[in-house]
Structure 1
Amino acid sequence: MYLQKYDLHGRVAVVTGAGQGIGLCAAQALGEAGATVVIAEKIPERIASAVQELAQAGITAHGAPLDVTDSAAVEAFAENVVKDHGHIDILVNNAGVAVSDVRAEDTTDAHWRMHMAVNLDGLFYCCRGFGKRMLERGSGAIVNIGSMSGFIVNKPQPQSFYNASKAAVHHLTRSLAAEWGARGVRVNAVAPTYIETPLTRFGMQNGEMYKTWLDMTPMRRVGQPEEIASVVLFLASDAASLLTGSIVLADGGYTCW
């Protein structure tokens, strides 16, 4: 009974930023559970490598370029998924940027806008574009990738722009959940700690910064992309049928202190 709730056969899942890291692992998790996976990735070369890697895991994935900051492109992408696959059941909003260690007073307009454009605007465009199609069918699950930075202020690196964007993602998640809950579409988010991906390499290569990260984490380690993908799979599946508007912290205990 319970394992059947994780069965995603017959469902179509779109994962943004799925060319590497958390997105790629989320695509694999959903594919292993039986979903038809569609990779939406800005960098074409990453699409080819991701499709190949998933194929080696026995998963047939489809992919196409997508810049989530282009609202018209998002709308066209969503329409094409429906044309090619008939429907959209799952959306994982993973595309994001983090160029940290920049003080607030030194943050340029361009730096601020880049983070808001990808982390918040692009996420909303995808929720709107794909969510619209889910609402028409009366069912769907959206999983947004937030961050523990939406709850706390990281140290020692300054990154007010990133923290603000992820806090907004969390509240947008709750707002959409409240608006769409009665219409069959669930919207939840995962809030990870530091995960070993290209985005955190700058800190992991800085001995003092990395030590602070670990000292502030009860589990004394960073996370791995597959650990977040496991949470994504849960939230996207019927095992989480009563969850909407939830922000699931996967932070190694970081926010306990």
Structure 2
Amino acid sequence: MTFTPEAFSLDDKPAFVTGAGSGIGRAVALGFAACGADVACFDRDAEAARATADQIVAARGRAVGVGGDVTSPESLAEAVRIAAESIGPIRTAVNCAGVAGATAAEDMPAEDFRRVVDINLTGVFLSAQAEARVMLAHGGGSIINIASMSGTIANRGLLQAHYNASKAGVMHLTRSLATEWADRGIRVNSISPGYTLTPMNKRPEVAERLKAYAADTPLGRIAEVEEMVGPAVFLASDAASFVTGSDLIVDGGYVCW
């Protein structure tokens, strides 16, 4: 097998991106389009999903924006069906939809814990399930789940046991799906961002601490959302043909200290 730069191309790899209305999901959708993919943009905010899709269409090619809920199997199945009609059966997917919050564990209402786990973990499972059903019927593909370095560490100063637990679950879910679908042509990997300037990390309880987080990062700064695109393109592309079940930490070195 001879390596060529074309291995990084996403031509002929229709993509499905959840959480594509903002943050990392939006950046990945735009980045995948720049690398040749037609993209279905899925978000609970249908208008934001359509805005991302419209930007792709204006720049280069085919895209469709679909509103829906990652905790609803029916909503995901319909979105994947619309994607197939609009851009063809999906061959790659990035599951970015997620929520966060901050509450002391001893005071956290059970419904708050369930909500974060339901969206961040169950939502990733249901998304991957809907995506894999299409990929299994069309020769395989690549699924990328957005986890977090918070699945590896407990963030100093942040009271988010529900978020941390959900992201650790995403990492192990990824390994489990990777082994289950490996012999049928689907690679499954995760990306664990460090502190990144997403809307979630601009919430008040985090925004005031960003300078401290930057100081604790060997590279000395917070990531931009666009810095998650390259790792996602790699994992989606044929350049990563022997990579499955891996978690790629993209944190500027934060977990090293």
TM-score higher than 0.5:
yes
TM-score bracket for the superposition, by shorter chain length: over 0.9
For 2:58 and 2:154, the matched residues in 1 are separated by 39
Give the CA RMSD over aligned residues. 1.5
What TM-score, normalized by structure 1, do the two folds share? 0.94
2:192 match: 191
* Residues 15 and 38, structure 2, Cα contact 8 Å, conserved in 1: yes
* Residues 19 and 43, structure 2, Cα contact 8 Å, conserved in 1: yes
Q: How big is the shift at 1:78?
A: 1.9
* Residues 94 and 146, structure 2, Cα contact 8 Å, conserved in 1: yes
1:179 match: 180
1:74 match: 76
Matched, 1:142 2:143: yes
3-state SS of 1:191 partner: strand
* Residues 156 and 212, structure 1, Cα contact 8 Å, conserved in 2: no
Matches within 5 A, 1:205-244: 205-206=207-208, 209-244=209-244
For 1:72 and 1:45, the matched residues in 2 are separated by 20
For 1:161 and 1:251, the matched residues in 2 are separated by 20
Q: How big is the shift at 1:133?
A: 1.5
* Residues 21 and 43, structure 2, Cα contact 8 Å, conserved in 1: yes
Structure 2: give runs of 5+ residues left out of the alignment.
none
2:89 match: 87
For 1:111 and 1:85, the matched residues in 2 are separated by 37
Question: Which amino acid in structure 2 is aligned with residue 17 of structure 1?
Answer: G
Matches within 5 A, 1:1-257: 1-100=3-102, 102-202=103-203, 203=205, 205-206=207-208, 209-257=209-257
Question: Which amino acid in structure 2 is aligned with residue 184 of structure 1?
Answer: G
Identity of aligned residues (%): 39
Q: How many residues align?
A: 254
Question: Which amino acid in structure 2 is aligned with residue 130 of structure 1?
Answer: E
**Cα 1:48/1:76, change in 2 over 3 Å:** closer
Question: Which amino acid in structure 1 is aligned with residue 186 of structure 2?
Answer: V
For 1:45 and 1:82, the matched residues in 2 are separated by 20
What TM-score, normalized by structure 2, do the two folds share? 0.94
3-state SS of 2:188 partner: strand
For 2:195 and 2:37, the matched residues in 1 are separated by 28
* Residues 63 and 86, structure 2, Cα contact 8 Å, conserved in 1: no
